[in-house]
């Protein structure tokens, strides 16, 4: 495994590792780790760092929904054009072009179900290219960004019974 891949794998595991931690775990010099991280950031491979938050532990837990959108394109409009408009809404936490039964998947966050509903009905559905939306409210989150919220601390073994 090359040094970029090794550093990237560890950053995916825990973006808070220090360069000293990363150097120790990869066997690289700290200066090489720093240069590697700088290059990953400059190349846009690492686009940012975020905290993984368990929404159930917040005092004011946000309402999260997965919204499926179907679109019809015309000669002047591309998926990228629609994505730019959708990504511009602060309620949209993530946006993906999908294969399969629908075109876009939006992860939406708001303070209430009513706010999510109004956002979809007043801002997303009226876009001329949007032909259908289906909203699924998130009931419980068990794993996010490879972090399990239901796991016991310190024991990640899977039980096995013959």
pLDDT digits (tens, 9 = 90+) for 62-73: 899 999 999 999
Tokens of 160: 């096995």
Quote the tokens at residue 37. 């991280």
Q: Is the pLDDT of residue 144 over 60?
A: yes
Q: Which are the contacts of 153, defined by CB distance < 8 A and separation ≥ 6?
A: none
Which residues make up the CATH 1.10.10 domain(s) of the chain? 3-42
pLDDT in tens, 103-140: 999 999 999 999 999 999 999 999 999 999 999 999 99
Q: Which regions of 13-55 does DSSP assign to beta strands (E)?
A: none
With respect to CATH, is domain 3-42 assigned 1.10.3470? no
Residue 153 has pLDDT above 90, yes or no: no
Q: CB neighbours of 16 closer than 8 A, spacing ≥ 6?
A: none
Range 55-144 classified under CATH 3.30.70.1290: no
pLDDT of res. 49: 85
- Say if residue 160's pLDDT is above 60: no
Half-sphere exposure of 39 (CA within 13 A, CB side): 11
At residue 11, the 3 state secondary structure works out as: helix
Domain with CATH 3.30.70.920 in the chain: 55-144
């Amino acid at each position: 495994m090359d040094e970029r891949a090794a550093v990237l794998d560890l950053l995916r595991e825990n973006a808070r590792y220090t360069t000293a931690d990363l150097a120790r775990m990869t066997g690289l010099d700290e200066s090489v780790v720093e240069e590697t991280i700088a290059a990953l950031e400059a190349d846009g491979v690492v686009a940012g760092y975020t905290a993984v938050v368990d929404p159930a532990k917040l005092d004011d837990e946000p309402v999260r929904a997965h919204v499926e959108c179907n679109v019809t394109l015309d000669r002047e409009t591309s998926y990228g054009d629609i994505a730019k408009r959708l990504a511009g809404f602060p309620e949209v936490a993530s946006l993906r072009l999908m294969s399969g039964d629908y075109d876009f998947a939006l992860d939406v966050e708001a303070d209430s179900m009513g706010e999510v509903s109004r956002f979809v009905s007043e801002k997303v559905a009226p876009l001329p290219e949007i032909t259908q939306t289906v909203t699924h409210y998130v009931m419980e989150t068990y794993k996010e960004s490879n972090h399990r919220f239901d796991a016991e601390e310190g024991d990640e073994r899977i039980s096995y019974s013959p």
